[in-house]
Structure 1
Amino acid sequence: MEHAFGPYLKQLREQQGYSINQLAEAAGISNSQISRIENGVRGVPKPATIRKISDALSVPYADMMKQAGYLEVSNTAIELQEAPDWATYKDRRDFKKMLEDEDDLMFDGIPLDDEDKKRIKDVLTGLFWEAKQMNKRKKKNDPDERP
Structure 2
Amino acid sequence: MEQEFGRFLKELREQRGLTINQLASAAGISGSQISRIENGLRGIPKPATLRKIAEATGCSYEELMERAGYLQDQGAAEAEIVPEWATNKDKRDFRKMLEDDGELMFDGIPLDREDRQRIKDVLTGLFWEAKQMNKRKKPKQD
Q: Which blocks of at least 5 consecutive residues in structure 2 are unaligned?
A: none
Does residue 117 of the first structure (1) align with residue 113 of the second (2)?
no
Deviation at residue 100 of structure 1 after TM alignment: 1.0
Asked if the contact 1:104–1:112 (Cα under 8 Å) also holds between the matched residues in 2, the reply is yes
CA RMSD of aligned residues (A): 2.2
Deviation at residue 143 of structure 1 after TM alignment: 4.4
Task: Give identity over the alignment, percent.
Answer: 66
Per-residue deviation, residues 21-76 of structure 1 (Å, max 9, x unmatched): 11112212111111111111113212221222122212222322222222345xxx
Q: Which amino acid aligns with 1:84?
A: P
Counterpart of 2:77 in 1: which secondary structure?
coil
Asked if the contact 2:104–2:111 (Cα under 8 Å) also holds between the matched residues in 1, the reply is yes
Question: Does the C-alpha gap of structure 1 residues 34 and 137 become closer, same or farther in structure 2, counting only changes over 3 Å?
Answer: same
2: CA distance, partners of 1:145 / 1:137: 15
The total of aligned residue pairs comes to 140
Deviation at residue 13 of structure 1 after TM alignment: 0.2
2: CA distance, partners of 1:145 / 1:128: 27
| 1:17 alignment partner in structure 2 | 17
Q: Which amino acid aligns with 2:99?
A: E
Counterpart of 1:92 in 2: which secondary structure?
coil
Asked if the contact 2:5–2:38 (Cα under 8 Å) also holds between the matched residues in 1, the reply is yes
Asked if the contact 2:3–2:39 (Cα under 8 Å) also holds between the matched residues in 1, the reply is no
Deviation at residue 16 of structure 1 after TM alignment: 0.6
Counterpart of 2:29 in 1: which secondary structure?
coil
Asked if the contact 1:3–1:68 (Cα under 8 Å) also holds between the matched residues in 2, the reply is no
Residues 9-88 of structure 1 aligned to structure 2 (within 5 Å): 9-72=9-72, 79-82=76-79, 83-88=82-87
Q: Which blocks of at least 5 consecutive residues in structure 1 are unaligned?
A: none
1: CA distance, partners of 2:65 / 2:7: 14
| 1:133 alignment partner in structure 2 | 132
Q: Which amino acid aligns with 1:115?
A: E
